[in-house]
Amino acid sequence: MATNPTPAIPIEVTPVEVTPVKAKSNKKPVVIVLIVLALLCICSITIVGGLFVFGVIHSNDVTITPTPTIVAPTAQSTSDLSALISQNVATAKASITLPYKIDAYTTWTDVTAETGAVRYHYTISGTDTSSVTNTTLKASLVPTLCNTPSTKAILDEGVNMEYQYTDLGSSRTFFVTVTQADCN
């Protein structure tokens, strides 16, 4: 069956001048991506931190306690960095009920926003920590944190990660700071 073609309707085209618009710089998408990455890695960081303590406690490594290296943020203003840290802490607290038992010896008790850092608080109980030092803890944590894309991204934004472990049996406290410089 043949169809009748529709007659062409003349269309008048008026030229329009296009003015380029300068794109606004918006850091919110970067912050949102970092928060999502942080949420994905918070549980793994926590579990890794607890498992490293377990591994360090049950090894025979004896080393000297280091002085933590603190790196000032380079890419962000202090207020942007503080907001990013606060958002990471809020995300962590919303994603898990604390205290959280990591293993037979380690419990994650809190996560707090500190100046330039997110601090993870743990308690250790039921095991001997006499061979544990800040150095052995840091040596265990750094490779995993630096080789995990989500935690590396947070470190690259200038956010330090701090780990505080308190041995409930002896009241010893261990403290480790991991910075972007530790990954270089």
Residue 171: what pLDDT? 85
Pairing of strands 117-124, 106-114: antiparallel
Instruction: Supply φ then ψ for residue 45, to 5 degrees.
Output: -60, -45
Domains parsed from the chain with CATH numbers:
28-58+74-183 (3.30.300.250)
Contacts of 158 (CB under 8 A, 6+ apart): 71, 72, 73, 74, 75, 76, 81, 116, 180
**Model confidence, pTM:** 0.64
* Cβ 159 vs Cβ 118: under 8 Å: yes
Mean pLDDT along residues 157-173:
95
Q: How many CB atoms lie within 10 A of CB 148?
A: 18
**How many whole angstroms separate alpha carbon 38 and alpha carbon 62?**
32
Which amino acid is present at 155? Answer: L
Per the listing, tokens 């061979």 go with 131
Mean pLDDT along residues 132-154:
95
pLDDT higher than threshold 90 for residue 130: yes
The strand pairing partners of 108, in sequence order, are: 100, 122
- What are the pLDDT digits (tens) for 49-83? 554 454 555 544 333 333 333 333 444 677 889 99
122 or 51, greater pLDDT: 122
22 or 171, greater pLDDT: 171
Residue 39: what pLDDT? 44
Residue-wise DSSP of 110-134: EEEEETTEEEEEEEE-SS--TT--H
21 or 122, greater pLDDT: 122
- What are the pLDDT digits (tens) for 95-107? 999 999 999 999 9
